[in-house]
Amino acid sequence: MIITNCYKGMSDPAIARLPLRDHIKRRIRMLRQNNNPITTANDPNFASVLIPLSKTVRQDQFLRCDTGPGDDRILIFASTEQLDILQSTDEFLVDGTFKVVPEIFYQLYMSELQVRFTIDEKK
């Protein structure tokens, strides 16, 4: 999404001179990983979520709820902007998956929204 927004308004010759989109994405992932190394072991009984994981890059609160250690622990993550969008939407979907979660967790449960707004609304 970030890359797409950067492409908007660029001329075709300028876009043609850029590296391939996959290379840009790979470079962004590498820089993020190098700048934010989290080296905590995968301990299912961790006492609390590390501060770098509880805030967004812009230092907005991201961890909204942590029920504490135990087999039925629930962590809820959402930025302020995501909560505002969730509150203003009429429809949303929820989905749970078991395949992409770290070993210390049982399930990942997500809310998915469709956001529509015009350029004027975005400002």
Q: What is the pLDDT of residues 90-119, one digit of tens each?
A: 888 888 888 877 777 888 888 888 776 656
What pLDDT is attached to residue 12?
Answer: 86
In whole angstroms, what is the distance from residue 72 CA to residue 65 CA? 13
Q: What is the pLDDT of residues 12-64, one digit of tens each?
A: 888 888 888 888 888 888 887 776 656 555 677 788 888 888 898 888 999 99
What pLDDT is attached to residue 88?
Answer: 85
Query: Any idea where the domains of the chain sit in the sequence?
Result: 1-37, 41-123
pTM: 0.58
Alpha helices in 8-123 (DSSP H): 12-17, 21-35, 51-54, 80-88, 119-122
